[in-house]
Amino acid sequence: MSAVHEGKKAGNREYCWRLPSDLGKIPQLQQEIMQLLQQNGFPEPDVFAVRLAVEEAVANAMKHGNRLLPNKAVEVALGLEDDAVWVCVRDEGEGFDPNSVPDPTSDENLERASGRGILLMRHFMHYVEYRDNGRTVYMVRRRVLASGSACHVFCVSTAQA
């Protein structure tokens, strides 16, 4: 793994990173995750979806959770399974209620420059769940089938832990 983070193999195809709240660290993390997915035979649609979801989740954790404070970190865990990949992103912020985020598709929000990260994560991942009062997001992407499709079941929970 690179010097960008303290990445390590934590177990059976599980990987962990701890990043400072620096948006400049995201591209290297994305590159490492893309390489892991490609090396483990995930097709390009899955690699693209996970890369985008990780970018949004980590950027949200750094900006909104940790408020870009350099003394706060974002932890990223990734697990590779035969039929899926899961990602867990945790910040050190105060948490939030994901249901309180304004709808980015409503007329008054269409021209805003930001506010679409959660929508994108929900679109590209098959399962998205917020935990720990919104400080942690857990996402799953199932492998695209040989036909190019995947089962598009999607659940969102705001379980408080």
Choose, from 56, 141, 142, 143, the residue flagged as catalytic: 56
- Identify whether the C-beta of residue 156 lies closer than 8 Å to the C-beta of residue 128: yes
| AA letter at 39 | Q
Helix (H) / strand (E) element for 45: namely helix 44-60
CA atoms within 13 A on the CB side of 33: 29
Is residue 44 annotated as part of the catalytic site, yes or no? no
Choose, from 55, 60, 90, 142, the residue flagged as catalytic: 60
Is residue 66 annotated as part of the catalytic site, yes or no? no
Contacts 24+ apart (CB under 8 A), 22-25: 22/62, 22/68, 22/70, 23/59, 23/62, 23/63, 23/68
| AA letter at 85 | V
Q: How far is CA 131 from CA 68, 84, 118, in A?
A: 21, 20, 14
Q: Is the dihedral of CA 40, 29, 91, 49 positive or negative?
A: negative
Q: Which region, left, alpha or beta, applies to residue 85 given φ > 0 means left and ψ of -120 to 50 means alpha?
A: beta
Is residue 109 annotated as part of the catalytic site, yes or no? no
Catalytic residues: 56, 60, 112
